[in-house]
Structure 1
């Protein structure tokens, strides 16, 4: 009798579990279908335009702000034809063809479909885009700027019938539908809303930095789900620096050591306009952004960006930087006893000086520069190994750039130079190991003379 009763209870429990599982599956499937629906756009129902609505100087300027060419072009190939490989934690992603070609590109996109791709990460056929496309930032762009961007790509860009490469992400990680859940949690969307407590200039800077220029995509760290941990200044993690593709994108907040705390608004404007200032020069991923984007910003927009960035308070522990003459005095007394000192004197001092203060704006200082002072040494290792790409200002390639030491120096020698630089002139940053250099050597390629520079009318 007891065994029969126990068997009956077990059957009831199994039935309850089965019902819960079925209901859970149905709810999950329904939620997945709802999240993967085609989102609505303010442009739904609009008839496709047959000619540009805005002047080309306005439409191309929005494309400059958004720096679309940096990811969607390859050196020496047609602009916006795609094919650029981008590393991700699950495999290689290739940037797509966004020319108005009707087969390989976006020539058949309506304005609403274009809007969904740019601001919501949903392609014309409904599949979700990988967030390597910075749609969480582009979501803040205004309707008018989206119209201008659409105008530019449909009527000013030459169509290119270049097929899109298949991603290198294996099954089942290549399934796109789970990205709808990611979007629901990490890409809240919504255009930029002005802060009434701030000036018009501050709001314009915030709009550019948070939206079209998508600065947070590189300069804000990622969470466990590879999401930007913050999308605006409401979090102290926003623009506080992050590691990305072999470089450490600098802290853009008010930190005195490894941030912009010692920079003036004019310093920020100068770097974005000319690629150099008294503190630093552009390199790495920022070099591409400079070559094709920031140098073309209007003076008003550059100032607005500077005003916004200078409003961001420091984050974490911070202490002031103070120049220390001990290293310079050691050189003056022919004291090369410090590890890496002789190598620095032979390989680096002609450009950066025995005092570490550089040569004006042409060769940046190493004393007190944020890149050197970062706890993460990725950028200084990378640039010592691979040098710097070619800066192009107003169409003219730069004559002064960092020499790569990948072939000339061993891992331990590069580590010694990096450690010497990070420990001299008051820098007081952690040392670099040969193992760190070896790892960077393995995962990076030498810099190339080829650069992506887009010519626009």
Structure 2
């Protein structure tokens, strides 16, 4: 082969090599539509909210503490950084982490990362999410803090046994007896929404006691970090039985719906995640939740006509005004009104409010102790704050006023004891 022939061949193949390199680069870079779908899934899945340290942390760089009964578990860096994040993950690595809770190298992940829910995600959705995290999120060279868990919960090898016993397998399978909207809602609630992580009771192995509507325990309520995540089934007392599908959709998008207002960790969830659901997905999720039958039956409510005069006392008070009624009149009536009906889209109604009727009053106790605020959303009303009363009311007064609200205006739930309040205060160190 002559030198001129060699130069001709090299010159001829150079454009081909260049074209192959360009084609490879274009194949590696996802289309804008795929990035948009991945970004949407990251928002509604709460990836940024969980994987971003709330005090000035870089997005998706990890470091947020997830409280557990065994100690804090810190979220990992899921940016494209190759040393500290997922920059070296293949899609197969990513899929295994989300479906099986196993990182490269066989490292077992704690189920504070809800891979029990992501196990049901479709491969197409996981590919879109993977593409967005690798190509749509800036890499950050940051290592989250180490977990500090008590023995034996610091032994990751034991998670392999846990997953063998409790980890569901396989993508979500659409039910043929339901329409497309219902199946979309079920898919979102069970996978990217991972609603069961907070709202489903835990078993002896701290596993969710059910992963879909076939379980009698699914979404019936659970205490998390002293907040009671409410019953999402059709119970007419403390569940969603009296809440309209439109009210549920509005609550998810704005934190306000049918007189309810999100507070505590739910306000954060609405603010950081749920408000980004599309209108179609809001309807689908609301429709699915409305289809769930009542399971427990906690608390009761007998609706009163809007024209009925407001009762002066709770259902179970005598002729003399109770302590609870006096506290309510002095500290609560301005916002929640004498009839407990609140102010629409500003202050929640207490009459018939499922959170007020919850079987476990932890959430309302904590709210009275330390206060809270409604979420700030793009479509909802301005956020409103409720002050904490830890320095204003005694434990006895807080118990009495909570009992009053749980037993007035048609409400019928068990009273709150002074010990209930004192226990929460001790745990809050307040």
Q: Under TM normalisation by the shorter chain, which class is it?
A: 0.7 to 0.9
Equivalent residue number for residue 106 of structure 2: 126
C-alpha distance in structure 1 between counterparts of 2:391 and 2:309, whole Å: 28
The Cα RMSD (Å) is: 2.5
Alpha-carbon deviations, 1:34-54, whole Å to 9, x = none?
xxxxxxxxxxxxx99742245
CA distance in 2, matches of 1:180, 1:327: 60
Q: Which residue of the other structure, out of 70, 73, 80, is the alignment partner of 1:90?
A: 70
Q: Which consecutive unaligned segments of at least 5 residues does structure 2 have?
A: 1-24
Q: Is the 8 A contact 1:336 1:342 kept in 2?
A: no
Work out the CA distance in 1 between the residues paired with 2:51 and 2:347: 31
The count of corresponding residues between Structure 1 and Structure 2 is 400
Aligned to 2:171: 191
Query: Which residue of 2 is the match for residue 104 of structure 1?
Result: 84
> Deviation per CA, 1:362-383, whole angstroms, max 9, x where unpaired?
1110111111111100011011
Contact 2:236 2:297 in 1 (8 A): no
Aligned counterpart, 1:282: 262
Contact conserved, 1:340 with 1:417, CA < 8 A, in 2? yes
1:327, 1:424 within 8 Å by CA — same for their partners in 2? no
- The 2-side partners of 1:430 and 1:111 are apart by 51
- Equivalence map 1:368-379=2 (5 Å): 368-379=352-363
Partner SS, residue 373 of structure 1:
coil
1:19-418 to structure 2, matched below 5 A, reads 50-55=28-33, 56-75=35-54, 76-317=56-297, 321-323=301-303, 328-330=310-312, 337-389=321-373, 391-394=375-378, 398-418=382-402
Secondary structure class of the residue paired with 2:66: strand
Secondary structure at the aligned position of 1:93 is classed as strand
1:214 is paired with a residue whose SS is coil
1:420 corresponds to which residue?
404
Matched-pair contact (CA < 8 Å) for 1:219–1:249: yes
Deviates more, 1:96-105 or 1:350-359: 96-105
Q: Select the residue among 397, 422, 426 that pairs with 1:438.
A: 422
TM-score (norm 1): 0.82
CA drift at 1:131: 0.7
3-state SS of paired residue (1:248): strand
User: C-alpha distance in 1, partners of 2:411/2:374?
Assistant: 27
Specify the SS of the correspondent of 1:58. helix
User: Shift of residue 219 of structure 1?
Assistant: 0.7
Secondary structure of 1:370's match? coil
> For the residues of structure 2 that align with 1:406 and 1:109, how far apart are their CA atoms?
48
Q: Summarize the Cα distance change of 1:320–1:399 in structure 2 as closer, same or farther, 3 Å threshold.
A: closer
Shift of 1:137: 0.5
Contact 2:300 2:412 in 1 (8 A): no
TM-score (norm 2): 0.87
Q: Please give the alpha-carbon distance, in whole angstroms, between the structure 2 residues aligned to 1:318 and 1:385.
A: 23
1:48–1:110 contact (8 Å) kept in structure 2: no
Q: For the structure 1 residues 374 and 395, does the alpha-carbon distance in structure 2 shift closer, same or farther, using more than 3 Å as the test?
A: closer
Cα distance, 1:421–1:230 mapped onto 2, change above 3 Å: same
CA distance in 1, matches of 2:295, 2:347: 29
211-220 or 412-421, larger mean C-alpha shift: 412-421
Check the 8 A contact 1:246/1:379 in 2, yes or no.
yes
CA contact (8 A) 1:384 1:405 kept: yes
- By how many angstroms is 1:397 displaced? 8.9
CA deviation after TM superposition for structure 1 residue 270, in Å: 0.9
Residue 67 of structure 2 aligns to a residue whose secondary structure is strand
Structure 1, unaligned runs of 5 or more: 1-46, 447-457
Range moving further from structure 2, 48-57 or 92-101: 48-57
Give, in angstroms, the shift of residue 327 of structure 1. Answer: 9.2
Q: CA deviation at 1:401?
A: 2.4
1:348 and 1:327, CA in 2 relative to 1: closer, same or farther beyond 3 A? farther
SS of the residue corresponding to residue 393 of structure 1 reads coil
